[in-house]
Structure 1
Amino acid sequence: MNKSVFLGALTVAGLMAGVAAAGTMDDVKARGKLNCGVTTGLVGFAAPDANGVWNGFDVSVCRAVAAAVLGDQNAVEFVPTTGKTRFTALASGEIDLLARNTTWTFSRDVDLKFEFIGVNYYDGQGFMVPKSLGVSSAKELDGATVCIQTGTTTELNLADFFRSNNISYEPVPIETNAEAQQQYLAGACDVYTTDASGLAATRATFEAPGDHVILPEIISKEPLGPLVRHGDSEWGDIARWTLNALIAAEEYGVTSANIEELAKGTNNPEINRLLGTEGTLGEMLGLDKEWAKRAIAANGNYGEIFAKNIGENSPVGLGRGLNAQWTNGGLLYAPPFR
């Protein structure tokens, strides 16, 4: 290929990439709402209340992005997806963002052409069994029937775990958490396996949660996070830095209660840049200067969102663990806002 043809091809490719990149934010703004893919229902993470209003830890990410881009945390259409349908919904453009306890893996990032914009929950796969089974370790589950959601990393990890421990199991395939719960409680399977956070959320809905035990083994790394399509870097930046804003706000002590006061200006330049009283970070994203302020004000900072939806005083009852700030020995670490 001669040089002029090569440069011409590069220019066309650049223009096309520019069109793709501008696409999602323009679509969201023109539509006036964010289409966000969530789970079909997992208490604490994403579930509609009696009035059909969606709430939860993952839902809060969708609402924060809508607040940042559209100025309204309620300008979201929640699209329930299963382990099987979620990736098709994102790839096809049916949704703009997938925030559905989805594990960041090599093949999903590279082969499926998605871009994970961060981790909002560090998790690992566990096992839940009825206390009456008398089992204290997953290694005692030889020959067990196991309820397993299809199209998930859970399915693959389960096979690896049983194979490496030279024990056998019989899978009971299910599509949704609700179906898994129904089958497990009906005795159609001895064990339910999914991310440990999902087990805690499911158990919290049982009439007698104390009759069920989450076994001590965590058999995998499950970094869960929101994702967007490849080829849309500007949109990816908005989603990524909205999540980072929630994490950074907790570190800097910016809360839903004090944000209006801090937004008048502080002696901490990082807080000022985050809340838009200094610098041009919003402009760099194609948004206004108060984008992050709105995202944080919607449902609070990361810690507030965690505590309200899945924390120790919620029905789900999860401790912070790996999801504590890096300053408290956890893995949460937002890059600098500068």
Structure 2
Amino acid sequence: MKTRLLLIAGLMAACAMPAAAGTLETVRSRGEMVCGVSPGVAGFSVPDEAGRWGGFDVDICRAVAAAVFGDAGKVRYTPLSPKDRFVSLQSGEIDVLSRQATWTLSRDTQMGLRYVGIGYYDGQGFMVRKSLNIKSAKELNGASVCVPTGTTTELNIADYFRANGMKFEGVAFEAGDQVAKAFESGRCDVFSNDVSALSAYRLKLVNPTEYVILPELISKEPLGPVVRQGDETWTSIVRWSLYAMLVAEELGVTSANVEEQKKTGSPEVQRLLGVTGNLGESMGLKPDWALQIVKQVGNYGEVYERNVGAGSKLGIERGLNKLWTQGGLQYAPPVR
């Protein structure tokens, strides 16, 4: 009986205690969101000469800020190495991690983190010098391979070479720029990373045209924003900020026509832009949260093309990142 009374008293006391502030409240009281990004990867997250960050991963954070504040500029960016990226999120140093970080079972279940969606479908590949006249990864037996440490890249290489009866010598470095410099200086024969990262690092080499990315993809690398577990409202905000850009592209809503679509769009467009209903209310957002994302950042297609697409310096075809209606894998749940 005494034990039961103590238990009841404990529960009553817990209920009487004020709830800890969620991430949304913390972000709003701070007046800005803190976003963890890669430290200077062209097309994904890189500062310009004035220190303004831009790129695909940066735009995901800008979309969240637009939803939360109505102002995509209210973001502070923290560049993080592969070693520090998850620790910084776990400790609360950042609110969102939006960098090249592959979604895996262990990361999603054992680290107190939650992936909210797949913003970019990628795969690991290999880059070599054209002068080697190598046409396939199957020709890399005995090669030395430069990789970033603390990533899935190392494990994927080991699996691939073992499965194909080949040997390799791994040369690991903490930061991607160190890997690229080592590769360029001849410390290894091959540079392995996600193909998107290889495309970005190739631009930094003195003579980019002297290098080629081999055709094989040896892994699945689903990349997307990450938050801490246990805050469902914040998880939903980050997830639907990404999905809003995808839905906008599906519906033909762009940064150029969003105001007109607000007046004349279909019922689904009207719901997305907050004209009818208030689907943002359950997340603590204003009715026009998605409108602000599209207006200030763009739909998914605009973000892709501007940063990494065929018309950008990276020139990466949409491929798997096309909408599902165009033969790709990008697919968002309905807004209703």
Q: Tell me the TM-score range normalised by the shorter chain.
A: over 0.9
Identity %: 52
Amino acid at match of 1:189: C
Structure 1: unaligned runs, 5 residues or longer: none
Asked whether 1:168 is paired with 2:167, we answer: yes
Change in 2 beyond 3 A, CA 1:3/1:312: farther
For 1:130-279, what aligned pairs fall within 5 Å after superposition? 130-263=129-262, 265-279=263-277
SS at match of 2:193: strand
Q: Distance in 2 between matches of 1:141 and 1:34?
A: 44
SS at match of 1:246: helix
Q: Distance in 1 between matches of 2:163 and 2:16?
A: 47
| Kept after mapping to 2: 8 A contact 1:244/1:334 | yes
| Kept after mapping to 2: 8 A contact 1:147/1:173 | yes
Q: 1:161 offset after TM fit, Å?
A: 0.8
For residues 246-283 of structure 1, give each alpha carbon's deviation from its aligned partner in whole angstroms, at most 9, with x where no partner exists.
110000001000011122x3351111111000011011
SS at match of 2:22: helix
Change in 2 beyond 3 A, CA 1:213/1:287: same
Asked whether 1:122 is paired with 2:88, we answer: no
Q: Distance in 1 between matches of 2:223 and 2:153?
A: 12
2:297 maps to 299
RMSD: 2.3
Amino acid at match of 1:232: D
Asked whether 1:87 is paired with 2:86, we answer: yes
| Kept after mapping to 2: 8 A contact 1:17/1:231 | no
2:307 maps to 309
Q: 1:205 offset after TM fit, Å?
A: 3.1
Change in 2 beyond 3 A, CA 1:182/1:272: same
Q: 1:111 offset after TM fit, Å?
A: 0.6
Amino acid at match of 2:331: Y
Amino acid at match of 2:149: T
Change in 2 beyond 3 A, CA 1:242/1:11: farther
Q: 1:135 offset after TM fit, Å?
A: 1.2
Q: 1:19 offset after TM fit, Å?
A: 3.6
For residues 280-332 of structure 1, give each alpha carbon's deviation from its aligned partner in whole angstroms, at most 9, with x where no partner exists.
10111111111111112222100000000000111101001110001001011
Change in 2 beyond 3 A, CA 1:319/1:292: same
SS at match of 1:281: coil
| Kept after mapping to 2: 8 A contact 1:41/1:177 | no
Amino acid at match of 1:206: L
TM-score (norm 1): 0.94
| Kept after mapping to 2: 8 A contact 1:96/1:228 | yes
Change in 2 beyond 3 A, CA 1:129/1:27: same
SS at match of 1:188: coil
Q: 1:202 offset after TM fit, Å?
A: 1.4
Q: 1:17 offset after TM fit, Å?
A: 12
SS at match of 2:280: helix
Amino acid at match of 1:76: V
Amino acid at match of 2:317: G
2:286 maps to 288
Q: 1:15 offset after TM fit, Å?
A: 5.9
1:32 maps to 31
Change in 2 beyond 3 A, CA 1:248/1:11: farther
TM-score (norm 2): 0.95
Change in 2 beyond 3 A, CA 1:45/1:232: same
User: How many corresponding residue pairs?
Assistant: 336
SS at match of 1:204: helix
Q: Distance in 2 between matches of 1:7 and 1:57?
A: 50
| Kept after mapping to 2: 8 A contact 1:113/1:230 | yes
Q: 1:204 offset after TM fit, Å?
A: 2.7
| Kept after mapping to 2: 8 A contact 1:117/1:236 | yes
SS at match of 1:128: strand
2:59 maps to 60
Q: Distance in 1 between matches of 2:14 and 2:189?
A: 54
SS at match of 1:213: strand
Q: 1:39 offset after TM fit, Å?
A: 0.3
2:329 maps to 331
SS at match of 1:198: helix
For residues 37-80 of structure 1, give each alpha carbon's deviation from its aligned partner in whole angstroms, at most 9, with x where no partner exists.
00011000000011110000000001110111112111111000
Change in 2 beyond 3 A, CA 1:220/1:13: farther
Structure 2: unaligned runs, 5 residues or longer: none
Change in 2 beyond 3 A, CA 1:63/1:10: farther
Amino acid at match of 1:310: V
Change in 2 beyond 3 A, CA 1:311/1:75: same
Q: Distance in 1 between matches of 2:245 and 2:131?
A: 42
SS at match of 1:82: coil
